[in-house]
Chains A and B, each alone.
Chain A
Amino acid sequence: MKKGSYLYFKRRLKNFISKIFAYLMTSVSLFFLGWLLFSLITYGSSHFNLSLFMETTPPPGMEGGLLNAILGSLMMVGLAVLMGTPIAVVVAVYLTEYGSPGYFASMLKYVNDILLSAPSIILGLFIYQIYVLRYGSFSGWAGVLALSLIVFPIVVRASENVLTLIPDHLKEAAAALGTPKWKTIIFLILPISRTGIVTGAVLAFARVSGETAPLLFTALNNQFMNLDLNKPMASLPVVIFQFAMSPYDDWHKIAWSGALFLTLIVLTLNVCVRLIFRQKIILH
């Protein structure tokens, strides 16, 4: 009897200790996250006003904003996602519907996983070598190409995840009606996976909007307003980098505000994605 209750006590103690430990670790990580957000808000809110979105990057000592950087980021990230997503979806469809048990498909998956974890600076250097040097200038298009190399494996992985969720019996039902495979894919499988694929694209957008390294050798930077993709283009992360590294105080303030803005965008996108996805899971 006594031995039994002692073991029981030991178990409860272990339970208690691990629970405390878990809570402690969670608090530590939440603490740093909170500190980060706090710093962003403290340093970034001073310059977080309308002029940030209306004026272009100023020379040191003058008033200005981040309009050219924001628009540049929007254009390049948007185009990278628009270009990378359809190709990624096609590849994901191939991997799940056509290639599936084959050797080529598993190789392709492996390559995709490598690309997914490739350092983005290498992707930037790659585009620099084959595109920037070839055409002789830095440009928005080079930036778009580098970013789409990051977008592509993200969307392939996300699409693959939703596509494999589609139950076999649904595909069999379509086949049993005499539906050719391509029609099953276009009219049944893709519409069902639509939400998951869009989610993947939005997550890729959020992830890529903060990428700095690949843009350094491709789109470079531009202190003036430029919407021409054939020329160097400003982007939010690169300008933040440039301004933060400088010795000028007012540039630092703008950098902080830019960082706050970027963080808010990424947070909002992630939260939206979570909300949409939760709704979808409930519906099913």
Chain B
Amino acid sequence: MEIKNKINVKKLNFFYGDFHALKDIDLQIEEKRITAFIGHSGSGKSTLLRTFNRIYSLYPHYKATGEIYLDGVDILSIDQDLTRLRQRVGMVFQKPTCFPMTIEENISFGVNLYEKLKSHAMEERIEWSLRKAVLWDEVKDKLKQDSMALSYGQQQRLCIARAIAVKPEVLLFDEPTSSLDPKSTNLIERLLVELREDYTIVLVTHNLKQAKKVSDFTAHIYQGGLIEFNKTSEVFINPAHEVTQEYIQEY
């Protein structure tokens, strides 16, 4: 069986103004697996993650050179439709970013961008995505409640539900549990493993235990460069690079 590379990064260089943030990155993200990016703060792991949905294009002064192939199509090309790209590649941020609307409106907001669902079909989609995010049982009676009334951990799961509802192919998680309590963190880690069945997942984390527990592959980003990339078990038991060895010792 051929291993499919969902994302193929070729000689990626990333600049913020004059600052060279990512240097000659070559990387393959395998389909329906969890790939973790680890590294110190400021190493560039979030920067790399954010190239996959071109969210950096919202701001001036950011520039990427090289190629990033999503299913064989270079998303860094000028004529890439960014809204279509971001429907296929969803993102969950470090802090919950729920819209100040009701719970169901948060989910229907994204869905309405691409599909015209009748109210019954929309209800089904809302239930489906909330179940997948392990949030349905907690909110099924208060869908019309303001999302801001939920706890932090619930809000983050709502953001995950919202991202899933538009049926993406790839999910990017930028340190999704770093601001959550251990219980919510645990829940989301289990959720990630379940989501792997259907989605290609890339996870940035500074929690090495999490990377070890959850991911299939691990990439170590150091000072803008990719210094190690292998199966997670290999990286943590037998790291090839001494910097990785040092970094892992820290936990």
Residues on A close to B: CB < 8 A? 101, 169-180, 183, 187-188, 192
Contacts and interface: CB of A to CB of B under 8 A. Distances in A.
A179 B98 CA distance: 14
Given A172-B55, A178-B84, A178-B166, 17 more contacts: A101-B60, A169-B93, A170-B99, A171-B58, A172-B97, A173-B93, A174-B109, A175-B58, A176-B53, A176-B55, A177-B166, A178-B83, A178-B85, A179-B83, A180-B83, A188-B99, A192-B100
A188 B83 CA distance: 16
Contacts of B215: none
22 contacts: A169-B95, A169-B97, A170-B97, A171-B58, A172-B58, A172-B97, A173-B98, A173-B159, A174-B99, A174-B109, A175-B58, A176-B55, A176-B86, A176-B163, A177-B113, A177-B166, A178-B83, A178-B85, A178-B86, A178-B110, A178-B114, A188-B109
Interface in B155-199: 159, 162-163, 166
Contacts of A178: 82-87, 110, 113-114, 166
Nearest to A192: B100
Contacts of B39: none
Q: Which of the four size classes fits the interface of chain B?
A: 20 to 34
A192 B98 CA distance: 13
Q: Is the interface of B mostly helix, strand, loop or mixed?
A: helix
B221 to A, nearest CB: 21
Nearest to B84: A178
A127 B233 CA distance: 77
B53 A179 contact: no
B226 interface: no
B90 interface: yes
B29 interface: no
A177 B55 contact: no
Interface in B76-134: 82-87, 90-91, 93, 95, 97-100, 109-110, 113-114
A176 B55 CA distance: 7
A177 B110 contact: yes
Nearest to B92: A176
A177 B97 contact: no
B90 A176 contact: yes
Contacts of B98: 173
Nearest to A176: B91
